[in-house]
Structure 1
Amino acid sequence: MSHKGFQFKEFKVEQDRCAMKIGTDGVLLGAWVDVPEHINSILDIGTGTGIIALQLAQRSDAEVIDALEIEPQAFEQAVENFENSQWADRLYCYHASLQEFVSEIDDKYDLVISNPPYFNDTFKELDKQRAIARHTEELTFKELLEGVTKVLATDGTAAFIIPYKEEIGFLELAQNTNLFPSKISRYRGNINSELKRSLIQLKTKPHTLVQEEFFLEHSRHEYSDHYKSLVKDFYLKL
């Protein structure tokens, strides 16, 4: 997507100072996650541009929507995107790592969500700003899940999007931290391509697991009905 600002149906996201631009993964996660009708607090870990937090502000009446961002320029941009939205009074961004945040904050959240860094051994040539956004060295899946358990409410929900190939290991780590899958959706780019990502929703107690697979496009820019139904409230052209 362009480095320029991106206009959604109910908000605009500037992204010129963020290493990681708005992409399919973040928008899908913000649209896909189950949001209870009566929810009070949400935490977005590694918010980047702030896109997921903004989506959840649009989708819910949560009074508290907090976000974390460690990279300075992305943090500043997320703050500006929040301030320029119609939900500025409900959105707040902390310039902190998850590790710092959980060591200093006692708050518990009904929903914790993250489009986490996941490239372990690729993109090493990227500049430092982009590398922080892409590599698990700054926040491993184990650290992420352990941190989530410290800020998640007793009956809370956590949601993530990760590479499909990482799913089994991620779920094993989740079980070790007493988080259990309630919904998993796996998607592929088109009907003939390999599975690309896993959207995973976790609960603090064992739960009946709902699973599905879908694809994004029939052909270039010809989107599947399932994908369109997920993101239609956000993209102007859908």
Structure 2
Amino acid sequence: MFRFKQFAVRQEQCPMKVGTDGVLLGAWARVGADDRRILDIGTGTGLIALMMAQRAPEAAIEGVDIADVAEARANADASPWAARLSFHRMPVQQFRPADGRPYDLILANPPYFVDSLTCPDEGRTRVRHAVALPFDELRDAVVRLLAPGGRFALILPLVEAHAFDELCRGLLVPVRRTGVRTTPRRPLRRLLTEYRHVEAGELPSEPECDELVIGTGEHECYTESYRALTRDFYLKF
């Protein structure tokens, strides 16, 4: 069972799909007091946008997705933060904010399969494969929409995360990174990365790095670090 303060998402009763990657990104991304404009790229059910609405009570949050955003809108309307949430159905490559202002924080849990075979189901292909949103076009959208001094938070598998890093050279620089393991003995499964614009004349530097382990290895037992990160969003935590 998933919660947003008074607004509980019961997955057996609600169409919202609560995936671990989205929860991780929404809980891990740094949210500052000055973050008043937040964009969720590939918003889907609106999960990350809703997490941002809970964490940033002064912010206006927008979600953009190439697929239908009716479910995201319905989930927002059922929450206490409907007035601060808006959603747009269009490719982010074409998206322009109505007031022309850039965003303080951008988040993305994007499709990431690049070279693998696509699925016959068009919807599953859109969600899993970087066909409609190739990494270079995601990068260009972020560079265009991110405010000076703003941050971009992203979650990807390891290989894809390093590929995205290469594409960002000279444009976006990673400043913080967390490797994610499902259990202590498992290899790293995901990388959470925070980027910002590269400043003129800036020399390369290493990002702050750490690791997060989700489970202890016992059935449905979570580490204290994962509980601490996500407990504001899980009723059973």
Query: TM over 0.5, yes or no?
Result: yes
Q: What residue in structure 2 maps to residue 199 of structure 1?
A: 192
Question: Which whole-Å CA distance do the structure 1 matches of 2:10 and 2:158 have between them?
Answer: 29
Q: What residue in structure 1 maps to residue 76 of structure 2?
A: 82
- Displacement of 1:125 in angstroms is 3.0
Query: What amino acid sits opposite 2:179 in the alignment?
Result: R
Q: What residue in structure 2 maps to residue 233 of structure 1?
A: 232
The CA RMSD measured in Å over matched residues stands at 2.1
The reply on whether 1:214 has 2:212 as its aligned counterpart is yes
Of 141, 160, 174, which aligns to 2:168? 174
The 1:223/1:171 distance shift into structure 2, 3 A limit, reads same
- Segment of structure 1 superposing worse, 53-62 or 42-51: 53-62
Q: For 1:40-75, what per-residue CA distance to the aligned partner results, in whole angstroms no more than 9, with x for missing partners?
A: 100000011101010011001233100001112xx1
Question: Which whole-Å CA distance do the structure 1 matches of 2:57 and 2:34 have between them?
Answer: 8
Question: Which whole-Å CA distance do the structure 1 matches of 2:221 and 2:15 have between them?
Answer: 30
- Displacement of 1:225 in angstroms is 1.2
SS at match of 1:184: strand
The reply on whether 1:118 has 2:112 as its aligned counterpart is yes
> Does structure 2 retain, via aligned residues, the 8 Å contact 1:44–1:67?
yes
Question: Which whole-Å CA distance do the structure 1 matches of 2:177 and 2:22 have between them?
Answer: 16
Of 41, 49, 52, which aligns to 2:45? 49
Question: Which whole-Å CA distance do the structure 2 matches of 1:213 and 1:203 have between them?
Answer: 21
- Equivalent residue pairs, number: 228
The 1:62/1:117 distance shift into structure 2, 3 A limit, reads farther
Query: What amino acid sits opposite 1:233 in the alignment?
Result: D
Q: What residue in structure 2 maps to residue 3 of structure 1?
A: none
The reply on whether 1:24 has 2:23 as its aligned counterpart is no
Question: Which whole-Å CA distance do the structure 1 matches of 2:74 and 2:8 have between them?
Answer: 11
Q: Any unmatched runs of 5+ in structure 2?
A: none
Question: Which whole-Å CA distance do the structure 1 matches of 2:92 and 2:10 have between them?
Answer: 24
The 1:223/1:7 distance shift into structure 2, 3 A limit, reads closer
Q: For 1:90-148, what per-residue CA distance to the aligned partner results, in whole angstroms no more than 9, with x for missing partners?
A: 00000111012049873300001010011224463351112111110110111101101
Q: For 1:130-183, what per-residue CA distance to the aligned partner results, in whole angstroms no more than 9, with x for missing partners?
A: 21111101101111011011110011000000001222221111224x111110
> Does structure 1 retain, via aligned residues, the 8 Å contact 2:4–2:51?
no
Question: Which whole-Å CA distance do the structure 1 matches of 2:97 and 2:232 have between them?
Answer: 36
Question: Which whole-Å CA distance do the structure 1 matches of 2:2 and 2:214 have between them?
Answer: 21
- Displacement of 1:76 in angstroms is 0.6
Task: Output the TM-score relative to the length of structure 2.
Answer: 0.89
Question: Which whole-Å CA distance do the structure 1 matches of 2:120 and 2:81 have between them?
Answer: 34
Question: Which whole-Å CA distance do the structure 2 matches of 1:7 and 1:126 have between them?
Answer: 31
- Segment of structure 1 superposing worse, 203-212 or 80-89: 203-212
> Does structure 2 retain, via aligned residues, the 8 Å contact 1:12–1:81?
no
> Does structure 1 retain, via aligned residues, the 8 Å contact 2:4–2:54?
no
Question: Which whole-Å CA distance do the structure 2 matches of 1:122 and 1:201 have between them?
Answer: 26
> Among the aligned pairs, what percent are the same residue?
37
> Does structure 2 retain, via aligned residues, the 8 Å contact 1:106–1:151?
no
Task: Output the TM-score relative to the length of structure 1.
Answer: 0.88
Question: Which whole-Å CA distance do the structure 2 matches of 1:110 and 1:104 have between them?
Answer: 15
Q: Any unmatched runs of 5+ in structure 1?
A: 1-5
The reply on whether 1:136 has 2:135 as its aligned counterpart is no
- Displacement of 1:17 in angstroms is 6.0
